[in-house]
Chain A
Amino acid sequence: MSSLRLFFVGGLTSYKALFGWLSPWILVPTFLLGPLVQVLLFAYIGRTAGVGDDRFFLIGNAVQYAAIPCLFAMSNTIGGERQSQTLGLLLVTPARRIPLFLGRSLPVIVNGIGVTLVALLSGCLVLGVRLPRASLLPLLVVVTVSAFACTGLGLVAAAVALRVRETAVLVNVIFGLLLIFCGVNVPLSALPHWMASTAGWLPLTHGIAAARRLAVGAALPDVTGLLLQEAALGAAYVLAGLGLLRWFERESRRRATLELM
C-alpha cells in the first residue's frame, strides 16, 4: 500500500514540483507550438527536397516530439532535486527506490502522450492530412508504448544526472540523436547501415514505424511485433535506468558528491 501511494502520490507531487515547466508561459510554446512547428519545418523541407509526404513527416515528428517531456521532464525530476539541494533529503528517506522513481515517470508518460496527440491533431489540421478513423485508437496504443519507451531512456538520463552537471546539454544531445537515427525524417532504408542498425536499439524507432503503418490503414495486429519490440526496449531502458540510479546513488554517497554542482 505504501509503495502504491509512493508511486502515484509521490509521482504526481514530483511532477507538480516541475512548476517551472508547468507555467502556461512555458507549457503553451513548448508543448503546443513547438511540436507543430517541428512538424511543419520538416514537412516543408521534405517538399523542398522531394522526399516523403506530409503524412510521413507528421507521424515521425509528432511521435518523436514526445521525447521533449519524456527526456527533459524525467531528467529534471532528478537534476532539479539536485540543483535545489533537495536530493539528499529525498535519498535519505527509507522509501523504496523502484516506486519512488517509477512513480515519477508515470505523469511524464501521460505528458508525452498528450504532446504527441496535440502534434498529430494540429499537424493534421494544418497540413490537411487525413488519418483513417479506425487507426485512431491503435495510434493511441502506439503513442503510449512509445512514450513509455522514451521515458525509459529519460530514466537513464535522470540517473546520469546524478553524476553530470550539464543535464540540459545531455538531454538535448539525446534528443538530437533520436531525431537523426530513429527514422523520424529519413526512412531507415535511406540511412547508412550502421545508423539503421543502431536505430533498432533506440526507443521511438519501432513506435514511429508502427504508427506510420497504422496511418496508411494497417490494423493493430499487423504492428504487434513492432509494438512488442518498442515495449521490450522501453522495459530494458527502465531497468538500466533503475540500475544506474542505484549505482550512482551508492557512488555519490561513497564519494560525498551527491549535491556537488
Chain B
Amino acid sequence: MTVLRLLGVSWWMQLKMRSRSAFDGFLSLLWPLFFATTIFLMFRAGNNAPRALLSAAVGSSVMGIWSATSTTASSALQQERRQGTLELLVATPAPFALVMAPLTLSMATVGAYSMVTTLLWGRFVFGIPLDIASPAAFVLGVLATVLAVGLLGFLLAVCSVRYRSAWSLGAQLELVVWLIGGFIIPVAAFPAWVHPLSWALAPTWGMNAIRAATFGDAWALDALMCLALGAVYAAVGTYLAHRLLRSARQHASLALS
C-alpha cells in the first residue's frame, strides 16, 4: 500500500509540475505535431489509401509518447542534480527505483496527452477519420505502451546518471526510435541487422498492438510483449541504479556535475 501510494502521489506531483513547464509540457505537445503534420502532408501528397492515412495518424500520435520521454528522461537526474535535489532523492528511505519510476512515467503520461492532440489534429485539420475497430483494445494498447515507455525512460535516466550531457543523446534517441520503432515505417523495410534492435524496443511491440487494435486484428500478444519488455527495463534499471548509486556514494561523486 505504501509503495502504491508512493508511486501514485509522486506520479501525480511530477505530472502537475511537468504540465506547468513550457519545455516539458507545452513543447511536448507541440513538437511531435510538427513531425506529424509533415508526415500527414507526405502521405496526402502520395495519395495514400484511407487505411494507410489512419495507420500514419496512429503511428505519428504514438511517436509523441516516446518524444515526451526520451530527452527529458535522459536529463532527469542531471536536472535533479542541478536543482540540488538528487541527494535528497537518493537519501530517502524508499528505494531509489520507486522514486524515479513515477518521474519518467509522468513524462510518458504527458506523451499520452500529446498522442490525443495529434489524433485530434489529424482528424480535424487533415480530415483523417478515426475509425478504430476495437476501441477498448486500443486504449489498453496505449496504456501498455505508456507504461513500457515510462520504464524505458527510467532505464535511460538511470544509465545517464554519470553522463552530464545526456540530454543530447536522449534528443537523438528520440529520432532513432522513431526511425526503427515501426511507428510509420514497417520494421521489414530495414536491413536485417536492424530488426533485433527494433524488437528489443518496447515501443515497437506497443505500436504493433495499437495498430492491430485500430484495424481489429489480434493485439494481445504484442501488448504482452510490450509489457514484458517494460518489466525487463524496470529490472535492469533497478539493478543499475543500485550499482551506480553505490559507486557514486563510494566516490563521493553524486553531486558532481
Q: Is A48 an interface residue (CB 8 A)?
A: yes
What total of A-B pairs shows CB separation below 8 Å? 102
A25 and B257 CA atoms in complex are apart in Å by 14
Please state if A186 and B22 are interface contacts (CB–CB under 8 Å).
no
A50 pairs with B27, CB closer than 8 A:
no
Distance between Cα atoms of A25 and B27 in the complex (Å):
24
Cα–Cα, bound, A187→B38 (Å): 11
> In whole angstroms, what is the CA distance A198 to B43 when docked?
21
B239 within 8 Å of A by Cβ? no
**Residue among A37, A52, A172 with the highest chain B CB neighbour number at 10 A:** A37
Residue among B23, B34, B42, B46 facing the most chain A CB atoms (10 A cut-off): B42
Is A131 in the interface zone, CB < 8 Å from B?
no
Shortest distance from the beta carbon of B184 to any chain A beta carbon, whole Å:
5
**Structural contact, B172 and A33, CB atoms closer than 8 A:** yes
B56 at the A interface (CB under 8 A): yes
- Which residues of chain B are within 8 angstroms of A26 by Cβ–Cβ distance? 165, 168
Contact call B171/A34, Cβ cutoff below 8 A: yes
CA distance A137 to B90 in the complex (A): 56
Chain B CB within 10 A, most for which of A45, A166, A173, A180: A45
Bound form: Cα–Cα A172–B34 in Å:
10
- Asked if A48 contacts B189 (CB within 8 A), the reply is yes
Q: A30-B171, A47-B189, A48-B186 are in contact. Are A41 and B31 (CB under 8 A)?
A: no
Contact A48 B185 (CB under 8 A): yes
Interface residues of A in 29-65 (CB under 8 A from B): 29-30, 33-34, 37-38, 40-42, 44-52
Query: How many angstroms from the CA of A187 to the CA of B34 in the assembled complex?
Result: 16
Q: Which of B42-61 contact A (CB under 8 A)?
A: 42-48, 52, 56
What is the minimal beta-carbon distance from B128 to any residue of chain A, in angstroms?
Answer: 14
A227 at the interface (CB under 8 A from B): no
Across-interface contacts of A191 in B (CB, < 8 A) = 41
- Complex Cα gap A169–B22 (Å): 7
A47 — which chain B residues lie within 8 A by C-beta?
Answer: 185, 189
**Chain B at the A interface: SS class:** helix
| Given known A-B contacts A25-B163, A41-B179, A180-B34, A169 and B26 have beta carbons under 8 A apart | yes
Interface pair B172/A37, CB less than 8 Å apart: yes
The residue in chain A whose Cβ has the minimal distance to the Cβ of B172 is A29
Q: Give the CA-CA distance A20 to B178 in the complex, in Å.
A: 26
Beta-carbon contact of B185 and A180 below 8 Å: no
CB <8 Å contact, A49 and B56: yes
B230 to chain A minimum Cβ distance, whole angstroms, is 24
**At the interface, yes or no: B37 with Cβ under 8 Å from chain A?**
yes
Q: Does A232 contact B (CB under 8 A)?
A: no
Verify B172–A34 contact, CB threshold 8 A: yes
**How many whole Å from B186's CB to the nearest CB in chain A?**
7
Measured between C-beta atoms, what is the minimum distance from B75 to chain A in Å? Answer: 12
In the complex, which range does the number of interface residues on chain A fall in? 35 or more
Contacts of A187 in B (CB 8 A): 45
Partner of B164, one of A25, A50, A172: A25
Per-residue B-contact encoding for A109-137, CB less than 8 Å = 1, 0 else: 00000000000000000000000000000
**Residue A23 at the chain B interface, CB threshold 8 Å:** yes
Bound Cα distance A45, B45 (Å): 12
The answer to whether B23 touches A166 (Cβ under 8 A) is yes
**A177 and B185 form a contact (CB under 8 A):** no
Bound CA span A234–B175, Å:
29
Q: Are A44 and B179 in contact (CB under 8 A)?
A: yes
Task: Find A180's partner among B41, B52, B175, B190 (CB 8 Å cutoff).
Answer: B41
> CB of B169 within 8 A of chain A?
yes
Contact flag A45-B175 (CB < 8 Å), given A29-B169, A186-B38: no
Return the chain B residue nearest A170 by Cβ.
Answer: B22
Asked, given contacts A34-B175, A41-B179, A169-B22, whether A176 binds B168 with beta carbons under 8 Å apart, the answer is no
Q: Quick check: is A185 within 8 A (CB to CB) of the other chain?
A: yes
Q: Are B34 and A176 in contact (CB under 8 A)?
A: yes
Which chain A residues lie closer than 8 Å to B48 at the CB level?
49-50
A179 contacts B by Cβ under 8 Å: yes
* Residue in chain A with minimal CB distance to B27: A169
Residues of A within 8 A of B175 (CB): 34, 37-38, 41
**Given known contacts A29-B171, A37-B172, A51-B46, is B184 in contact with A176 (CB within 8 Å)?**
no
In addition to A41-B178, A173-B27, A177-B34, 11 A-B residue pairs with Cβ atoms within 8 Å of each other are A25-B165, A37-B172, A44-B185, A49-B45, A50-B48, A51-B43, A166-B23, A180-B38, A184-B38, A190-B41, A190-B45
**13 contacts across the A-B interface (CB closer than 8 A):** A25-B163, A25-B168, A25-B169, A30-B171, A34-B172, A50-B47, A51-B42, A51-B43, A176-B33, A176-B34, A176-B35, A185-B42, A186-B38
Q: Which 6 interchain pairs have the tightest Cβ spacing?
A: A176-B34, A25-B165, A190-B45, A50-B46, A51-B46, A49-B46
